[in-house]
Amino acid sequence: MFLDVDGTLLELADTPDAVHVSSALVGLLEVLDRVLDGALALVSGRPLDELDRLFRPVRLAAAGVHGAELRLPDGRVARAPVDRDALAQVRQAFSAFAGTHPGVLVEDKGAGVTLHYRLAPSLADEARTLGTEWAGRVGDDFQLLQGKMVVELRARSATKGTAVRQYLAEPPFSGRRAVYLGDDVTDEDAFAAVNQLGGISVVVGDRQPSAARFRLPDVAAVHVWLAGLAEHLERHRGPSNSGLA
């Protein structure tokens, strides 16, 4: 099972640091990780260290920065190569824009830079124009992502889809049917990968169009669905069910 974080497990907030993680959700993830024998991974735009901080003390397999950072269940971490000089130029340009536009925030993710304008939605066109301009300047090694009130430039060499494929080549994920839940444009690569591999893709919210084959209405519904799944798997767990996923 692969779970996006913001907009899927957590309600979106005005700033990345303002999200709320309940103890009940942390406990639910701990149960799911156990009943899935470790075949549970977070797949997020956030860096790995942020994911660990949000969900402590649980430390799951996780793909950070849309797959540019990949931590496997055995603790190994792989990082996609990144042109740091080009990324520094993007960060400087985004910071200059934020410095003259109140409500705009810049998030440096190491393998990508994000411009948040949730607190200044009227600046959407300007933010997207800036992102497009810099995508042209830094070249094909970077990909421009335009999500929910964010513009991001990040390394093209890794996506959420490639992260899912890498996990499925490794135990305990290998040989199982993949389930992926996500809510934004950055999850579409993963939906496509899961569909191609015969898995279950679930979009959260009203995003249209989407490659996902199933839909849950909101974050609350995700929690209810995951809790029901955890209860079902725990009830039926046994030697003959170890491959359930």
Q: Which of 4, 6, 187, 189 is catalytic?
A: 4
Neighbour tally for 56: CB within 10 Å: 10
Q: Is 14 one of the catalytic residues?
A: no
Q: Which of these, 219, 243, 223, lies nearest to 233 by C-alpha position? A: 243
CB atoms within 10 A of CB 19: 17
Report residue 47 as tokens.
């860096």
How many C-beta atoms lie closer than 10 Å to residue 141's C-beta? 13
Give the number of C-alpha atoms closer than 13 A to the C-alpha of residue 176, restricted to the C-beta side. Answer: 23
Distance CA 177, CA 243 (A): 9
Task: Tell me which residues are annotated as active site.
Answer: 4
